[in-house]
Chain A
Amino acid sequence: MPNNARWSRRHLLKAGAIASVPLATGIGGCSIFSKPTAGSKAAALQAKIGGTVVVKSDAAYEAWRKAMIWQLAKADRKPDMIVQATSTADVQEAVRYAAKNGMKATTRCGGHSMAACFLRDTGMLIDIGHLDGVEVDKATKTAKVGPGVFSRGLSERLLEDGLAFPGAHCGTVPISGYLLGGGVGLNANEWTHGLSVFGVKGIDIVTPDGEMRHASETENPDLFWAARGGGPGLFGVVTQFHLQCFDAPGVIWGDTYVLPYTALSAVTDFMRDTVPTLDRSVEVLYAVAAIPDKSKDLPAEERFQIFLDVNAFAKDEAEGRRKVAAITNHPVTSLAVDAIRDRAGSYDRYYSDNEAGFPQAHWMGDSIWVDDPTEAMRIIGEALPDCPAPRAAPLVLYTGEQDQPDAAASRYAPYYIACYFEWDEEADEAPSRAFSRELFKKLKPIARGSYINEMDQEGRPEDVPDCYSPEAWARLAQLRKQWDPTGVFHDFYGQA
């Protein structure tokens, strides 16, 4: 069945005879307007907040639950209560309420977590996607940004003041969960020690007692330490980020090369040997993807292609050309079967181009950090032809050798390797997930841990601690005890 058949429910009307019948006015009438049952839990909280409280007995509960997850594969977990906050005061009320009523809370912002790690079977889910302020101080090159602001919007807004911040590679990722989990961001190699979270200079956080606190290097430094990387297991709700910004590039100068699959080891060697010699502001990644409509029976060389993407954050064209010269002159690029060269890009172009690569589909992902991509890509390359997911895309990004500040974000190596799997039919889901799990179990021994934000928390919950150094994991647990002694917030996904 074509993919769209499941989604397009055509309206049977507008036949010639009734051509003037309007489509939407008064379509269906079952909007759920209701007061929460008097005296119920929901009613008590609803009375205090400007947002919306939804409980399991509400007719639209299922729609709300599913709407919390951005992608199309909807994890089947059901929190007791969903609170869509519209202000920081709402968040405080919700946390106090959860504490008082013994409901364990989690936070959801953009719902982009591929594992939907925010969705739990009990307790309260606090949706903070509406907290969307942006305040820029051009003089100090800082910005106060609400968690719900999308990476693309932030970059456009900062550009107005000649500034930039390393946002996610896909424009619709809000900064919230992205930053709190670490943030593999655009030009983070040059700007923020390889992870965007190191551009966070402070946070405002609602702690388990419902108080609003500021945390930074000097104020509540232990909370600050935890928030810089501890995201999906954080014992609080961050309502604002204080960001250090950078001078915006005049141009994002770059090339994209399409290489045959036979060039896989050559590209990997190039990633290993040449890319680290480049200026930090040159971001290089490659991805492997199936060529559309090729039969699975064909040999791998005929089914897959490699896309090598280069972006130099530069003052101007001349600087951009200089920065990427070592690539344009490299023999690996002469293997290209197609290419876009000399792209004078911008954030707008980057995010527009990237949109199609991240469709709102049924998907999952997993990731590792490695010092050297060779062995990992050998393993992935070997497994890929047997991947049951209709679309699978391994990706290798160089994020640089770094000397990082001490923070919960403690797993890192210069190469980030992720695999994304996408399917349309339910029947493909379980095999795709099993394939990914098996592949990453194989990769684990050669990895320096995984990246929590793109880790298969549902498939490998036992490896969630491996997204942190043993010391950081222990310290997170100790800080949780200290800040959240009664357990107002859920622990990391899948942890007791």
Chain B
Amino acid sequence: MKKLYGTALAACAAALVAGMSLNANAQAEATDDPEQVVRDLYTAFEEGDMAAIETLIAPDATWTYYGPPSALPFGGVRRGPEGVGDFFAKVAETLDNPVAGQTRFLVDGDTVIVPGFEESTVKKTGIRYRADNVHIFKVRDGKIVQFEEFIDSGKVLLAFQGDDSVAVGKSAAAAVATPARAEGKIDKSVGKALFTTCVGCHGDDGQGRAMMYAPNLTGLDSVYITRQLENFRQGRRGKIEDAHGFPMVGRATAIGDAENLAAVVRYIGALPDAPAAKVAQRTAPAGLAGQLATCATCHGQNGEGNAQMGGPAINTLDSDYIALQLANFRSGIRGYDENDGQGQLMAAAAAAIPSDDDVVRIAEHYGR
């Protein structure tokens, strides 16, 4: 028995948690199993792990997106890892915020069939489309030798041609900006429904509850919230030693699929911001100028956050919460996973703080 938790019920945990994402997320090792190879590829895409992509795609693989290359730059047939690189380069040139999800993995011998969806905004027209798709992979000797994407490319084409009859979310995006009640409009979104489970810890309006050790969520960058939810879901945050983070593994997992995740993040993003600490009016703690400069690089001069750098606002967090997270980063309880790049950066930065006292002083400088 490796681990022993504090109570009998918790100890059942050893049994109960097994099979939850913690265990299931053990790093994939090289495998010949077609389904695993395909899953590894999706993971590699998600991590932006080019090296892994190169090893997973056979040099002579064909990569096909059914659609006219003349109108859809990523359409047509490509070859090998380079071809795949070119495919994504074209995606990046023409699309904003591409998101995709997989609903199932169906295996038939060496063939893996993955129904899913893709949603992206066409840069030149600003139209966001959403289309269901099916990816069909053929795997040989642990490498992908053939990929085909069947998608409603007619819809994609219309989005490229500026026909906004295919647009999704235009009105919704606008509505997010206006408080729901203002025009007598009631938010009954999926995101609000899902947030029901969040309120007990994070508060009715996401403002946080110190008595539940749960931080304020308002005013945080949506990219950051999404990343953290994914971290919890993928075992990159919230290990069992992270007493107040661990519960989030179950909660983040229970949110459900990528659409639900996006919906709850969008709902949180639209909540009114809780007041931030007036950091600018505070005297910086003595002797920590170097440390504070490091913080400012990613979190902004006054802890307001820097989306470009992926650094969340910290001036809207309680100082106790900041101190706890810094301690977690210092002790390997957070930022321990090599796939949590930003977390690892934070772990390195937190390790450089001279003492535990200084951790508290920094937390008090930025926090509420």
On A, residues with C-beta under 8 Å from B are 1-5, 7-19, 21-36, 46, 52-54, 58, 60, 63-64, 66-68, 70, 72, 84, 86, 110-111, 127, 129-130, 132, 134, 148, 150, 152-154, 156-157, 169-172, 174, 254, 256, 258, 285-287, 289-293, 307-309, 311, 337-340, 343, 345, 348-350, 352-361, 390-391, 393, 395, 420, 422, 424
Interchain CB contact under 8 A, A60 and B188: yes
Q: Are B265 and A24 in contact (CB under 8 A)?
A: yes
Q: A58-B188, A60-B189, A307-B12 are in contact. Are A349 and B99 (CB under 8 A)?
A: no
Hey, which chain B residues are within 8 Å of A27, CB to CB? 97, 99, 119, 226, 258, 262, 265-266
A15-B173 Cα distance, complex, nearest whole Å? 26
List residues of chain B with CB within 8 A of the CB of A70.
197
- Across the interface, A26 reaches (CB within 8 A) one of B169, B187, B243, namely B169
Q: Does B71 contact A (CB under 8 A)?
A: no
Whether B170 pairs with A29 at a CB distance below 8 angstroms is yes
State whether the Cβ of B281 lies closer than 8 Å to any Cβ in chain A. Answer: no
- Are B7 and A130 touching (Cβ within 8 A)? no
Task: Report how far A170 CA is from B193 CA in the complex, Å.
Answer: 23
**B-chain residues with CB within 8 Å of residue A54 when the two chains form the complex:** 188, 193
Say yes or no: A393 contacts B185, CB within 8 Å.
no
CA distance A68 to B49 in the complex (A): 39
- Most chain A CB within a 10 A radius of its CB, from B170, B173, B197: B197
Given the interface contacts A14-B45, A258-B4, does A7 sit within 8 Å of B21 by beta carbon?
A: yes
Name the segment of B157-165, B248-256, B271-279, B287-295 touching the other chain.
B248-256
Q: B10 and A353: CB pair below 8 A? A: yes
Whether A338 contacts B190 in the complex (CB less than 8 A), given A4-B21, A18-B91, comes out as: no
Q: Interface readout for B180-202 with A: 1 if CB under 8 Å, 0 if not?
A: 10001111111111101101110
Chain B proximity of A98: nearest CB distance (Å): 19
CB pairs A–B below 8 angstroms (29 shown) = A3-B19, A7-B257, A8-B253, A9-B101, A12-B45, A13-B99, A15-B50, A18-B98, A22-B307, A27-B99, A27-B119, A27-B258, A28-B119, A28-B169, A28-B262, A30-B168, A31-B176, A36-B186, A63-B190, A84-B196, A153-B209, A256-B4, A289-B16, A290-B15, A352-B244, A356-B16, A358-B9, A359-B250, A395-B8
B25 neighbours in A (Cβ, 8 Å): 4
- Check A64 against B193 for contact (C-beta < 8 Å): yes
Nearest Cβ in chain B — how far from A450, in angstroms?
A: 19
A29 contacts B7, CB within 8 Å?
A: no
**Residue B298, interface by CB 8 Å:** no
Q: How far is the CB of B53 from chain A (nearest CB, A)?
A: 7
Residue of B nearest to A68 (CB): B196
A355 contacts B246, C-beta separation under 8 Å = yes
User: Which residues of the other chain, B, contact A358 by a CB distance below 8 angstroms?
Assistant: 9, 16
> Which residue of chain B has its CB nearest to the CB of A285?
B8
A155: nearest chain-B partner, CB-CB: B211
Within 8 Å of chain A (Cβ to Cβ): is B286?
Answer: no
Given contacts A67-B197, A309-B7, A352-B244, could you give 6 more A-B pairs where the C-beta distance is less than 8 Å? Answer: A12-B98, A52-B186, A153-B200, A254-B6, A356-B14, A357-B10
A358 to B133, CA, bound (A): 37
B329 proximal to A (CB < 8 A): no
Question: Which residues of B are found within 8 Å of A349, using beta-carbon distances?
Answer: 6, 243
The complex places the Cα of A358 from the Cα of B17 at a distance, in Å, of 9
Assess the B187–A33 pair: CB atoms within 8 A.
yes
Q: Which of B15, B53, B188 contacts A289 (CB 8 A)?
A: B15
C-alpha gap A491/B263 in the complex (Å):
35
Are the C-beta atoms of B180 and A9 separated by less than 8 Å? Answer: no
Which B residues lie within 8 Å of A353 (CB)?
5-7, 10
Is B189 a contact partner of A33 (Cβ separation < 8 A)?
yes
Q: Which residue of B lies closest to A422 (CB)?
A: B16
Known A9-B102, A289-B12, A307-B8: A21·B92 in contact at CB below 8 Å: yes
Residues of chain A lying within 8 A (CB to CB) of residue B43:
10
**CB pair B101 A360 closer than 8 Å:** no
Flag if B89 contacts A28 (CB, 8 Å).
no
CA distance A26 to B43 in the complex (A): 22
Determine if A67 and B196 form an interchain contact, defined as CB atoms under 8 angstroms apart. Answer: yes
Determine whether the beta carbon of A12 is less than 8 Å from that of B100: yes
Determine the chain B residues whose CB is within 8 A of the CB of A174 once the complex forms.
200
B222 interfacial by beta-carbon distance below 8 Å: yes
Q: Is B247 located at the chain interface by the 8 A CB criterion? A: yes
State the CA gap A356–B175 with chains docked (Å): 39
Q: Indicate if the CB atoms of B103 and A9 lie closer than 8 Å.
A: yes
B85 at the interface (CB under 8 A from A): yes
Residue on B with the closest CB to A51?
Answer: B186
In angstroms, Cα B234 to Cα A5, docked, is 10
Question: Do the beta carbons of B185 and A35 come within 8 Å of each other?
Answer: yes
The 4 closest A-B pairs by CB, nearest first: A29-B169, A356-B13, A353-B6, A12-B100
B227 interface contact, C-beta 8 A:
yes
Shortest Cβ distance from residue B2 to the other chain A in the assembled complex, whole angstroms: 10
- A110 nearest in chain B by CB position: B200
- Assuming the contacts A5-B105, A72-B254, A256-B7, asked whether A359 and B99 have C-beta atoms less than 8 A apart, the reply is no
Indicate the member of A171, A353, A361 with the most B CB atoms within 10 Å.
A353
List B residues 1-59 near A (Cβ within 8 Å): 1, 4-21, 24-25, 39, 42-50, 53
A307 with B7, Cβ < 8 A, contacts A7-B253, A14-B48 known: yes
Contact indicator A25/B222 (Cβ below 8 Å): yes
Instruction: State how many angstroms separate the Cβ of B7 from the closest Cβ of chain A.
Output: 4
- Contact yes or no, A357 B11, CB < 8 A: yes
Q: Are B191 and A31 in contact (CB under 8 A)?
A: yes
Q: Which residues of A contact B203 (CB under 8 A)?
A: 132
CB distance from A245 to the nearest CB of B (A): 15
B223 near A256 with CB under 8 A, answer: no
| Also in contact, A256 and B9, with CB within 8 A (given A3-B20, A26-B121) | no
Which of B18, B191, B254 contacts A293 (CB under 8 A)? B18
CA distance A291 to B11 in the complex (A): 10
Which chain A residues border B307 with CB–CB below 8 Å? 22
**CB distance A28 to B168 under 8 Å?**
yes
Q: Which of B4, B13, B96 contacts A357 (CB 8 A)?
A: B13
User: Could you say which of B5, B105, B172, B307 has the most chain A C-beta atoms within 10 Å of its C-beta?
Assistant: B5
Please pick, from A12, A33, A129, A292, the residue contacting B42 in the complex, using a CB distance under 8 A: A12
- B128 is an interface residue with CB less than 8 A from chain A: yes
A31-B10 contact given A130-B199, A359-B250, CB 8 Å threshold: no
| Interface flag for B237 (CB, 8 Å) | no
* B24 touches which of A3, A25, A285 (Cβ 8 Å): A3
- Inter-chain CA distance A257–B21, complex, in Å, is 27
Q: Tell me the complex Cα distance, A227–B45, Å.
A: 55
Instruction: Let me know if B233 and A8 touch, CB within 8 A.
Output: yes
Instruction: State whether the Cβ of B267 lies closer than 8 Å to any Cβ in chain A.
Output: yes
CB < 8 Å neighbour of A63 from B5, B88, B194: B194
Which residue of A29, A154, A291 contacts B128 across the interface (Cβ within 8 Å)? A29
Interface check B240, CB cutoff 8 A? yes
* Interface pair A86/B204, CB less than 8 Å apart: yes
User: Could you say which residues of chain B place their CB within 8 Å of the CB of A8?
Assistant: 21, 233-234, 253
